[in-house]
Every structure is written in structure tokens, then in C-alpha cells.
Structure 1
């Protein structure tokens, strides 16, 4: 069993605490016009750098929405798009139910590549967020994982040494980015595996 001096547990959001499904976006756009969702999703993935620019706030809301509405062939207005674009998320209750217990002994930080619309119109509603001491969000920091700047933003808040942080993310590259700073890391692959990994770090018994 590992004996770690962990003081901070840093959680990714998407596909760890919540699941997201762009198929719902495609489905809802296809209800507006047959094939619209398919065409939109194709453009979205072919131009994924636009998504990343928005996550880093290199594009503001108006700039991003202008592009999105063009990709929707102007068949929808901005307010309706925001709701459809953020209707993606489902809570992973098997993991979020751990937060209350973890909160008793650890500082909890949420670290996410996300954007303003997904936050305000989507995941901000979830009640489990109350357990977090801080959200470190890409569109507020101006950096995305695995860029060093976003991990440093966590340390600036916690005021703890790198080795006192444990990061949980579903993407191996992002976990590696944290480990390069000296953090501990767990790649999330399944709820049962996360429980086992937390026990191996003596966080759960």
C-alpha cells in the first residue's frame, strides 16, 4: 500500500464526475431540420480548434456563437443554441457520492477544460459542486490541460507543494501533465477502478 502525503484531491469534470454526450446535441439539432445535427457535428469535429479556442477564452461568447450559428445554417437563434449546446451532461453518481466523505479530510479542487456556455447553461446546476473549495476552469485561466499554466493555477490557490496534490482525470495525457509537475495521478477508467486506486493511496479504506 502506498503511503502518500496527499492534502489536495483535484478532480476533472467531464467523464469523471459527469458524462457528456454530443449525440444529444446532434439529435436536438436534427429535430429542427433533418440532417442539421449531422452537418453541425461534422463541422464541429473537423474544426475542433474553435472549441479549444473558446475553452481558453481566445474566442469570447459573441465570437464563438457567431461561428456556431453559421454552422447551424442560421436555423436557430443564440439563446436556443446555448440551451441545446449545454444539454449534454449526466451526473456520475457512483463517483460524486464520494465527495462528501473526501471533503472531511482533503481540500477538493475542480480542474476542467470547459467553457462559459457549458458551465452556465449545463453543469453548474449539479448539487455535488458544493463540496469543492475551488473551480479552476480553462476559460477563466486562459489555458487548457495539459498546459502547465492551468496546473500552476491550482497550486496558486491551494498553496501546497506539488507532491501534495492527487489528480484524477480520464485522459492519460492530462494526468501525465500533472505528474510532470510532481503531482500524483490517477487515470479514471471506471468507478470500481477509482475506488481501488483511492484505497491504494490510503485515501479510502
Structure 2
């Protein structure tokens, strides 16, 4: 019997677009948005930030030097974080699952600035019983330790859980640990698959 539903955050619970960050930085830089993406999001620095290994101020300083920009930290925070939007239909799914008594866990590769912004702007986060966030625990998906931590914190066996992510590779890691997984494509597809797994959802 399914007891715990584990959600990915980005492009499942919230939509996001990293190119908005790149476009924001490019407005103040001689680099194009594509350059910023290639040199930034493919860098070790961004991965270290997502795993909590460097502070937000250090990320700001690195970006300022790397892309030769002169902006305030407040401007940087806005560029970095205002990239998310909510699909009301997925919020209803999360709310229904909560109402029906499932233990809800959010597992995300995210960082301090992003999650501070998300927590302050999207009430859906308050529906989750536990948050497993890469920058807090020092691991990021697809490392299996992030899934083991979710199981432990939920006090659930793998077969009692469903993991939902838009990235097939991450779902495969969960499956290898015995966790039921759903590769997210749409709210309608998600509801259908949850029902097939015996989850009580309206």
C-alpha cells in the first residue's frame, strides 16, 4: 500500500526556466545569454552551490567576475530567483493527496536563494510534510543517498512510496532502490498513473 508520495520540484510542482537567469545576467554583460548558460550552468561552481558547498555571496562574486557585471546583490537575487511559476492543476493534486492522508516529501536539486524565494512566494510548499533539498544535505540527484534520506525521513519502505520526476534518469535511480516511479509529463498523466498504483486521488 502506498503511504508516501515524493515529488521533484522543478518542472513538476513549479515550472522554471534557467534561461531567464542567463538573459538577466546578459543584460548587464558583454556575454550573450547562451554564453552565460554554457559557461555558468555547465560550471562546477553552480553544482557546488546546489550542494551547499559555497555561499550565496560567493556565487554572486563569482558571477560578477566571470561575466564582468557590476550590479547590486539585490538585483542579482531578483535575476537569479524570479524564474518560477505555478501550475494550479498540480497544486490541486498535491492538496488532494495531503487531504487523503499521504505523507508528502519534496526532493529537489535546488539552492538557498531559489528556495528562499519559492518558500516566500508559493504556498504549495507548505503542503509538504518534509523537504529534502540538495543544498541542505550536500547531495544532489541522481546520487542515491538523496532517495535513501527521503525513505528514512518518511519512515517508509521503498514499495510504500511513489517518486515523481520529469527526468527519467532520476526516476530510474529511485526504481533501482525499489521505489515506484512516475516520469512526469502532465497533470492528467500523473493522476492516471497514481490511480494505477492504487493511490487515492480525487
Q: Residue 67 in 1 paired to residue 72 in 2?
A: no
TM-score, normalisation: structure 2: 0.90
2:9 aligned counterpart, secondary structure: coil
User: Which of 186, 196, 200 pairs up with 1:200?
Assistant: 196
The 1:139/1:198 distance shift into structure 2, 3 A limit, reads same
Q: Residue 127 in 1 paired to residue 123 in 2?
A: yes
Q: Deviations over 1:76-120 (max 9, x none)?
A: 122211111111101122211111110122000100000001111
Contact 1:69-1:78 within 8 A present in 2 as well: no
1:59 aligned counterpart, secondary structure: coil
Matching residue of 2:50? 55
Q: Residue 89 in 1 paired to residue 84 in 2?
A: yes
Tell me the distance in 1 between the aligned counterparts of 2:141 and 2:75: 29
1:135 aligned counterpart, secondary structure: strand
Contact 1:40-1:71 within 8 A present in 2 as well: no
TM-score, normalisation: structure 1: 0.89
Q: Aligned pairs, how many?
A: 200
CA deviation after TM superposition for structure 1 residue 34, in Å = 6.7
Matching residue of 1:147? 143
The 1:194/1:182 distance shift into structure 2, 3 A limit, reads same
1:98 aligned counterpart, secondary structure: helix
CA deviation after TM superposition for structure 1 residue 69, in Å = 1.6
CA deviation after TM superposition for structure 1 residue 21, in Å = 1.2
CA deviation after TM superposition for structure 1 residue 8, in Å = 0.2
Tell me the distance in 1 between the aligned counterparts of 2:136 and 2:20: 26
2:54 aligned counterpart, secondary structure: coil
Q: CA RMSD in A?
A: 1.9
Contact 1:7-1:164 within 8 A present in 2 as well: yes
User: Which of 8, 21, 26 pairs up with 1:25?
Assistant: 21
Matching residue of 1:162? 158
Contact 2:141-2:170 within 8 A present in 1 as well: yes
1:108 aligned counterpart, secondary structure: strand
Q: Which region of structure 1 is more displaced relative to structure 2, 145-154 or 20-29?
A: 20-29
Superposed structure 1 runs of 4+ greater than 6 Å apart: none
Contact 1:25-1:85 within 8 A present in 2 as well: yes
2:181 aligned counterpart, secondary structure: strand
